[in-house]
Amino acid sequence: MFEVVSEDANASGRLGRLKTRHGTFETPFFMPVATKGSVKTLTPEEVAATGSKVLIANAFLLSLEPGSEVIKAAGGLHSFMRWNGGIFTDSGGFQIIRKRFSPAVQKDGVLFKSPYDGASKMLTPEDVVRIQHDLGPDIAMLLDDCPPWGTDTDGLKGSVQRTLDWARRAKAEYKDWPGLVFGITQGGIDAELRRHCSEELVKMDFAGYGIGGLAIGEPEPEMFRMLSVSNASLPRDRPRYLMGVGSPTQLFECVDRGVDMFDSVVPTRNARHNTLLTLKGKVNIRRSGFAGVQAPLEAGCECFTCKTFTKAYVFHLLHVKEMLGQRLVTIHNVRFIQRVMEGIRESLREGTFQQQKAEFLKGYKGV
C-alpha cells in the first residue's frame, strides 16, 4: 500500500510510493482541490496535463449536491468526474470552522446548515462512511472535530476526544470497504494533545494519517513545531497527509519535516485573483506591466498557457474579464506547483533535497 523508497540523510524528508486502486503514485505529491467534483475552471484533461495525478473532493458537500446516490448510480466519483487518477475524499470536518455552515458540534456528530438550501443536516461518522461507500474514492478521510484557531485547552481536549471516538465508530463501520482509510490527528498547538491523539489513532491501525487542524491561522513556526510532534508519533511505514497546505515555501518546509501529501486551493484561488505563481514569487498580472508584452507568462515554463499564449493576451483577457484568462492562469499555477513537487521528488531521489530547498527559497523570496 505504501513504501518508503528513500529518505533525506539530514532531515525527515522521504520519497515514497502509494499504491491505490487507480494507480501507484510517487510521494510527496500535491492534490489540486476538486471540492464539488471539479478543479475550478478546468476540465479533467487540463488537470491531468498539469502533471496532477491525485485530486481531493469533499464527500459531505457532494452528498448534498448532487447527492451520493446520484454519483453511485454513475459508477462512483471517478466515473462521474471522468477522472482516471487517484481521488481522496475529505469528510466535511473542515466545515466545522466555517461560519457559513453554522456548525453545531455534538457528541454524535455535527449539525450543519446546507449552503444550498439552508436546511439543517446532521453528519455523523457513520454517515460519512456510507457517503464514501457510494462515492468510491481511493482514500477516505474520517470525520474529525477540527477546532478553530485560538480554542482553549479544554476545547482542544474535547475536540481530541470526539475525534478519537468518531474514529473508532467509523472504523467499525468501514468493514470490507476496498479503499484506504486515513485517520486525522487533532490537538491544536498543544504538543501533549497532538502526541496523545496521534498515538491513539496509531493503535487503531489506519492505512495513513492526516494531520488536521493546522494552517488555519496559527503562526507558521507553531505549525512546523506541531508537524514535528505529530510525525514523531506516526509510523514510518504509513503516509502522512498535511491538510490545507500548498504555498511553495511551506511545501519545502513540510516535506523537510516528513510530510508525504498535500492539498490546497493556493494555485486555483490565486488564479481567480489575477495572481501568477512563479519561481521568483507571486505576480499580480493586473499590476505587473504585462500589457502588450509578447512573451510567455514565465520563461522556461512548459505549461499549455506558457507554450501557447503571451503576457499581453492573458493580461487583455483579465482586463476585460473574460473567463479564459482565469482558466489560463489556473493551468499555469497548478502546473507550477506540480513542477515544484517534481523537483522535490527528484532531489529526494538524488540526495540533494537540502540544496534544492535552499536554492528555491532564496530565489522565491527574491533574495
Structure confidence by residue, pLDDT tens digits, 237-276: 999 999 999 999 999 999 999 999 999 999 999 999 999 9
**How big is the CA angle at 266 (ends 364 and 239), to the nearest 5 degrees?**
95
Place 330 in a pLDDT band, splitting at 50, 70 and 90: very high
Is a pLDDT exceeding 90 seen at residue 177? no
CB 276 within 8 A of CB 258: no
CA dihedral 230, 178, 29, 7 (to 10 degrees): 60
Rounded alpha-carbon distances, angstroms, from residue 297 to 79, 145, 225, 313, 323: 34, 41, 36, 10, 17
Examine the pLDDT at 156 and tell me if it is beyond 60.
Answer: yes
Mapped onto helix, strand or coil, the DSSP state of residue 25 is strand
Nearest to 200 by CA among 164, 157, 171: 164
Per-residue confidence band for 367, with pLDDT thresholds at 50, 70 and 90? very low
Cα–Cα distance measured from residue 69 to residue 179, given in angstroms and rounded to the nearest whole number: 18
Taken in order of first residue, the domains within the chain and their CATH numbers are 2-264 (3.20.20.105), 266-367 (no CATH)
Instruction: Convert the pLDDT of each residue in 7-19 to its tens digit.
Output: 987 778 999 999 9
- Three-class SS of residue 16? strand
Residue 210 has pLDDT above 90, yes or no: yes
**Eight-class DSSP state of 11:** S
Pair 191, 229: CB distance under 8 Å: yes
Query: Tens digit of pLDDT for each residue in 300-324?
Result: 999 999 999 999 999 999 999 999 9
pLDDT digits 0-9 by tens, 65-103: 999 999 999 999 999 999 999 999 998 776 665 677 777
Confidence of residue 1 (pLDDT cuts 50, 70, 90): confident
User: Does the CA dihedral 224-228-234-237 come out positive or negative?
Assistant: positive
Q: Which three cell numbers stand for residue 327?
A: 482558466
Residue type, 207: A
Q: Would you name the residues annotated as active-site residues?
A: 90, 263
Instruction: Indicate the DSSP class of residue 304.
Output: H
Question: What's the maximum distance between 2 C-alpha atoms anywhere in the chain?
Answer: 61
Q: What average pLDDT is seen over the chain? A: 94
Beta bridge partners of 185: 211
**Burial class of residue 271, CB neighbours in 10 A (0-12, 13-18, 19+):** buried
Residue 136 to residue 36: CA distance in whole angstroms = 15
Q: Is the pLDDT of residue 363 over 80?
A: yes
- For residue 202, what are the contacts with CB-CB under 8 A and spacing of at least 6? 209, 233, 234, 235
DSSP 285: G
The reported pLDDT for the residue numbered 191 is 97
